[in-house]
């Protein structure tokens, strides 16, 4: 039976690679994994895991600002991130 050993340099390289991947994942999570600028209601409900009624309440009480264009409601990326991170929009 042959046993292969890992050198310190190989472990250091693995550590650096893992740390980079973890930082990239955390950076994406901090940004909510959101890359586009504007979202429709269905996308926001899916991102936040909320019902249509809850989203309507967010609009009514000003928790989540929106813009209405041609009968379609749009929500900005920044406002969604603020809501997800518990920051006040007002």
Place of tokens 């472990």: 11
Instruction: With beta carbons less than 8 A apart as the criterion, state whether 39 and 77 touch.
Output: yes
Among 48, 32, 25, which residue's Cα sits nearest to residue 81?
A: 32
- Give percent above pLDDT 90 in the chain: 52
Lowest mean pLDDT among 45-54, 59-68, 81-90: 81-90
Q: What is the pLDDT of residue 42?
A: 95
What's the rounded Cα separation, in Å, for the pair 17 and 15?
5
Q: What is the pLDDT of residue 50?
A: 94
pTM here?
0.58
CB atoms within 10 A of CB 80: 20
């Amino acid at each position: 039976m042959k046993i292969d050993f890992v050198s310190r340099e190989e472990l250091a390289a693995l550590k650096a690679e893992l740390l980079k991947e973890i930082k990239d994942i955390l950076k994406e999570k901090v940004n909510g994994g959101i890359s586009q600028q504007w979202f429709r209601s269905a996308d926001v409900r899916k991102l936040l895991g909320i019902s249509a009624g809850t989203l309507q309440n967010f609009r009514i009480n000003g928790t989540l600002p929106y813009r209405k264009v041609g009968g379609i409601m749009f929500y900005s990326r920044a406002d969604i991130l603020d809501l997800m991170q518990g920051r006040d929009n007002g």
